[in-house]
Amino acid sequence: MTDMLKAIPMTKPEIAPFTGETFPVLEQSAEFAWSSAESKQRGIYGFDSRDVRSRPFNMLRSRLLKLHRHKGWRLFGIVSATPAVGKSFCATNLAAALSRTPGLDTYLVDLDLRRGSIAHNFGIPVERGMRDYLEGEVDSLGAFACHPQGERLVVLPTDRAPAHSAELLASSRMERAIASMRAVTAPSIFLCDLPPVFANDDATIVTTKLDAFIMVVEEGRTTKKQVKDALHVLDQAPCAGVVLNRFDGGLLADSYGYGYGAGYADYYK
CA–CA gap between residue 1 and residue 223 (Å, rounded): 10
Q: Which positions ≥6 away from 83 have C-beta within 8 Å?
A: 115, 196, 199
Pick the most confident of 100-109, 235-244, 246-255: 100-109
> What pLDDT digit, counting tens, does each position of 102-128 carry?
999 999 999 999 999 999 999 999 999
CA atoms within 13 A on the CB side of 29: 27
Do residues 158 and 74 make contact, with C-beta atoms less than 8 angstroms apart?
no
pLDDT greater than 50 at residue 90 = yes
Quick check: pTM over 0.75? yes
Range in 14-23, 71-80, 179-188, 258-267 with the lowest mean pLDDT: 258-267
CA–CA gap between residue 228 and residue 201 (Å, rounded): 16
pLDDT for the residue numbered 199 = 87
pLDDT greater than 90 at residue 223 = yes
Q: What is the percentage of the chain residues whose pLDDT exceeds 70?
A: 84
pLDDT for the residue numbered 161 = 86
- Helix 87-98 × helix 55-71 angle, to 10°: 70
pLDDT for the residue numbered 52 = 94
pLDDT for the residue numbered 21 = 76
pLDDT for the residue numbered 20 = 60
> What pLDDT digit, counting tens, does each position of 26-59 carry?
999 999 999 999 999 999 999 999 999 999 999 9
Q: What is the mean pLDDT of residues 222-239?
A: 95
pLDDT for the residue numbered 144 = 97
> What pLDDT digit, counting tens, does each position of 149-207 carry?
999 999 999 998 888 999 999 999 999 999 999 999 999 999 999 999 998 899 999 99
Concatenating the DSSP letter of every residue in 221-260 gives TS-HHHHHHHHHHTTTS-EEEEEEET--S-TT--TT----
CA–CA gap between residue 217 and residue 227 (Å, rounded): 8
Q: CA distances (Å), 188 to each of 73, 90, 101, 138, in order?
A: 10, 19, 10, 24
Q: Which positions ≥6 away from 129 have C-beta within 8 Å?
A: 110, 116, 119, 144, 156, 157, 158, 159
CA–CA gap between residue 56 and residue 264 (Å, rounded): 7
Per-residue pLDDT band at 11 (split at 50, 70, 90) = very low
pLDDT for the residue numbered 249 = 57
pLDDT greater than 50 at residue 252 = no
Residue 210 is given by DSSP the state: S
Whose CA is closest to 168, among 195, 131, 139? 131
Q: Find the helix or strand (DSSP H, E) in which 154 lies.
A: strand 153-156
Per-residue pLDDT band at 247 (split at 50, 70, 90) = confident
Q: Which positions ≥6 away from 71 have C-beta within 8 Å?
A: 12, 211
